[in-house]
Structure 1
Amino acid sequence: MDKTERYIAKIIFQNRILKYKGQQFEDFFVAIMTRANEQFQAVKAYGNIGDRKNDGFDPTTGTYYQVFAPGDTSKDSTIYTGVKKLKEDFEKLYSNWNDICPIKRFSFVVNDRFEGLPPPIIEMSIELDNRPEYAGVKIGTFTAKDLERIFDELDDFAKQDILGIIPDEIMAVVEYDALHETVTYLLNTELPEDYSDNLVVPDFDNKIIFNGLSPVVSHHLVTGSYQEGQLMQYFNESPGVKEILQKKFRALYEEAKVQITDQTENCADRRFYYILEQACPKRTMSVQTSVLVLMAYYFSSCDIFEEPD
């Protein structure tokens, strides 16, 4: 990967962290750990015994992981559940696994969405770590930042294997079948449609500058706009689709603003790639090209991103 591709890969990783919860996050965690450490073994739930509180471990070092990925770690009920899960899961892990493969280190993996952990969870990990019956076991927490550091150390092939296709600077020619597949997917995606229309179409370059979009994203938008002719031909053959997609992309942009706040680093770029991922029915180059062309069109008409003052 070159510098641009690494930048995009990092943003896509961070957006996945925001999006994933529950089993989806656990699968993402396991995919990264498996590629980062050839000794790492994922543990699949089996029958009524489950995974015996072990989501994955390295038997050569005695390092064990248990994943907790709620929708929101700031709620009191979620914090209570997290503290309870940390304590009970480790106690059960210790009783089930320590005699099989001695536990030297236990990490309670929490998808905190880069917001940090609430004190009660940290306090419980320290309390367990200080208990004499668990002497010799280092007990701690593992957050999104820790997973990001491991991801950053992966080679380019592993990163691409996990994330899928990284948008290329050289955009392919949009294909009719891929465009139709993308449009069909978006038409069948349930999104709120209560946003008003923008009547003013701003200057394309001014809008890029106003929104603080990087040269990388600017290149995608400009290159995508070059294929507007093929897109308009598709719209002419499919009456009414353009207006429906307008509302879909506006809804996706509003969703991106909720997920990625103005205080988030590179928030504009991250919103761009959030919409790109959400609008792709599958991760192929042809489908991705279709979405980029659509995004360029609805960017120019001010249906996504902010209109300059």
Structure 2
Amino acid sequence: MSAEYWYHLHFKLRLYEADGNAFQRLVADILHAAFPDFEPVAPAGRYGDGGNDGFIRGEGRYFQVYGPHAGSAPQPADVVRKVKEDFAKLRQRYPNLQRYSFVMNDRYRGVPANVSDALLALEQETGVACDAVASHVLADLFMKLPEVRRQMILGGVPTTLPEYVDPRAVAEVLQHLADAPMRVDPSRERAPDFEEKIRFNGLPPAVADRLRSMSYQCGTVEDFLASRGRHLAQAIAMELRELYAQSLATVTSDDADTSALRYVWMIEQLLPPVEHPHSLKAYREAAEVVLAKYFESCDVYAQPGPGRCAP
């Protein structure tokens, strides 16, 4: 999986999960990185933000950010009302308003047509330039940033070494994989339906290649589990099945990246939930090996067969 595709998936997942204040902070981070003169605005008590979530003073460009809750279906009429009300607040409070940008987390579904129509009508009525900033626009801005800025926005490698105990069963194998050198065995045979399962679940080539590559290291997982007893393997299998079920409920988009987004989401959930003395890179690779192992054993992703449908 190329670094660019990895960044694309991680950012898309971050957008998919972000709502409310989390989405506003994400937008502020991106705009500040993309436009050095961007100034974020926090609500001022009972006066609110005056319809202004951030602006570029020299351009007279003001941003209003709207992040509906993930999984919700906001009514277009309510969004149009917000567009108009915030625009009216801006015109009243900021006489230098030259451009109004309504930033909406549409989660790649597209800005509703009546929202675009409302922005066009405001522009025609007032002469102030109005536009919608959708998810794909934010993604384009993010992908144009230097890698160091992208890492800052998504989160990088932990630098502190706090004491921490991960209570999950899968934590034992993750820690072992992060500590020990991986054993790569190109001669290892995969499950007979490995390739069929990849096709059945619609996994894109980049993710399929990662699963194939990581499957050559599954012997390390198998050796570790053999030394710990059947109970640990069963507990991990149960955790992985629950994790996959959660991914189906969390990542509900129906675009071409859905199966890849679930893959990335599960990796992120497998990582220790707080800072940990191992590098994030080592844990991510360990998580991918674990997914490959339990992909083979039919605990994650749908299993092909009569009457089965890929989610």
TM-score normalised by structure 2 residue count: 0.75
Counterpart pick for 1:287 among 279, 283, 286? 283
1:183 aligns with 2:180: no
Q: Paired residue for 1:87?
A: 84
CA distance in 2, matches of 1:27, 1:214: 31
Once the two structures are superposed, residues 208-265 of structure 1 have per-residue CA deviations (whole angstroms, 9 ceiling, x without a partner) of: 3543434543454345441553576368658755434433322332343355458411
Identity of aligned residues (%): 28
3-state DSSP of counterpart to 1:106: strand
**How far did residue 305 of structure 1 move?**
1.3
**How far did residue 63 of structure 1 move?**
0.9
3-state DSSP of counterpart to 2:75: helix
Q: Cα RMSD between the aligned structures?
A: 3.3
The correspondence of residues 30-179 of structure 1 with structure 2, limited to 5 A, is: 30-71=28-69, 75=73, 78-98=75-95, 102-131=96-125, 134-135=126-127, 137-165=128-156
3-state DSSP of counterpart to 1:154: coil
Contact 1:66 1:107 in 2 (8 A): yes
Change (3 A) 1:293 1:12: same
**How far did residue 71 of structure 1 move?**
2.4
**How far did residue 70 of structure 1 move?**
0.8
CA distance in 1, matches of 2:22, 2:226: 35
TM-score normalised by structure 1 residue count: 0.76
**How far did residue 43 of structure 1 move?**
1.1
Q: Paired residue for 1:305?
A: 301
3-state DSSP of counterpart to 2:64: strand
Counterpart pick for 1:265 among 256, 261, 277? 256
CA distance in 2, matches of 1:38, 1:297: 45
Q: Which runs of 5+ in 2 are unaligned?
A: 158-162, 173-190, 306-311
**How far did residue 41 of structure 1 move?**
1.1
Contact 1:227 1:293 in 2 (8 A): yes
Change (3 A) 1:234 1:96: farther
Q: Paired residue for 1:296?
A: 292
Q: Which runs of 5+ in 1 are unaligned?
A: 167-176, 188-200
Change (3 A) 1:124 1:262: closer
3-state DSSP of counterpart to 2:132: strand
CA distance in 1, matches of 2:68, 2:294: 33
Contact 1:54 1:66 in 2 (8 A): yes
**How far did residue 28 of structure 1 move?**
1.2
What is the letter of the counterpart of residue 131 of structure 2? G
Contact 2:56 2:62 in 1 (8 A): yes
May I ask how many residue pairs the two structures share in their alignment?
A: 276
CA distance in 2, matches of 1:238, 1:103: 67
Q: Paired residue for 2:197?
A: 207
What is the letter of the counterpart of residue 102 of structure 2? F
Change (3 A) 1:235 1:16: farther
Counterpart pick for 1:21 among 2, 19, 32? 19
